[in-house]
Amino acid sequence: MTAPLSGLRVFDLTRILAGPTCTQLLGDLGADVIKIERPGQGDDTRKWGPPFVPGPDGGDTTESAYYLSANRNKRSVSIDISKPEGQALAKRLIGFCDILVENFKVGNLARYGLGYDDLKASNPGLIYCSITGFGQTGPYASRAGYDYLAQGMGGMMSLTGEADGEPVKVGIGIADIMCGMYASSAILAALHHRGMTGLGQHIDLGLLDTQVAWLSYEGSNYLTSGEVPKRQGNEHPNIVPYKVMPCADGHVIIAVGNDAQFARFCAFAGCPELAEDERFLTNASRVRNREALYALLPDITRQKPQKAWVEGLAELGVPSGPVNTVDQVFADPQVLARDMKISMPYAGSAKAEVDLIGNPIKFSETPVDYRFAPPRAGQDSDSVFEELLDIGPEERARLRGKGVI
């Protein structure tokens, strides 16, 4: 069986997180991803540590765990696109590619003759995806954009944290990651369009745009009511009870989604009268009277340990769960059963392999394919140049001597 994007090739001019997230997903789905890196430097995130991959001598390798997180299933090729010969090599390779993904500042690639308008005439089927902080247009287009800025400017930080605390960013670079996910979805749609018309196109994605898009129901709440949403800690603006609650041995998440679940929760908790209280009869009434309900629940939830709540409510179809630390996540039997932790061979590491997070997509006919561990900078230059461009050892040595590759 082959992965669903087998036979497609990606020219990857991305680094950091948003772009690499997109191209790693395309690689997991079978595309041949050629990651272009500057000779002797590579993706900045290779040095974003510690932690680094442990080496066989007890020291560290030069590859960070951060870099590993978004660069599986790629081949790394060194090209200095600031040099004319490097630009010529890049254009030749692009001619063998279906997709180009880049996250340079607006207009920077055009300086090297590698903008979309420079390439589309000779590559009419090319799908060219640009990822920037603020998109290709608008008053902020020329600004540098980062995940932290997008979370702040896009409203996410105003919604995250305790009501009486300061704005808080999400614990990982979620604006970057979601932008990469939107980019991969857009590329798949463009591939379908190309299949019908033969024509590629330019895809323009900005971190701020995608952050605003996934304000989701909180953004819709504001657009509908005119009321600005506020931080509510672990509470939900539209569902009650939906919160981390204290239990006999720690904390448990109670996530009651409808009135029937609330009645079952109350019966299990030994307080059936709450489900009959006019203040709490419906979700709408519970939302309006959330403070009163949340004042009563802690004394109730403290009566049972976490395991009793999680297992007992699960049997009744009432959502609940623990708040796992990351080590507990990767020891969870469900996570392990779903292959969300994988290991791949990795020469030069202490274990001769690295542990990575698996892809969550499960296909029945075209499974995700883990072919390549995250590559070292430029490790595939020779094989790619020989395979696609028929550039032999002598010419590669000349280009390497000039710093082109």
- Indicate which residues carry an active-site annotation: 176
Residues in contact with 69: Cβ distance below 8 Å, sequence separation at least 6, in sequence order: 356, 357
Show the tokens assigned to 189: 């749609």
- Phi, psi of 248, deg, nearest 5: -60, -30
**Crossing angle, helix 18-28 and helix 174-197, to 10 degrees?**
50
In angstroms, what CA-CA distances link 237 with 226, 254, 286? 15, 15, 11
Q: Which ranges of 226-380 would DSSP assign to H, the alpha helix?
A: 259-269, 283-288, 290-301, 306-315, 326-329, 333-337
Measured CA to CA, the distance from residue 190 to residue 11 in angstroms comes to: 16
In angstroms, what CA-CA distances link 272 with 7, 140, 261, 275, 277? 60, 55, 12, 6, 9
Closest C-alpha among 261, 266, 267 to residue 239: 261
H/E run at residue 130: strand 127-132
Tell me the β-bridge partners of 122: none
For residue 50, whether the previous peptide bond is cis, meaning omega lies within 30 degrees of 0, is yes
The position carrying tokens 């020989």 is 386
Q: How many CB atoms are closer than 10 A to CB 348?
A: 12
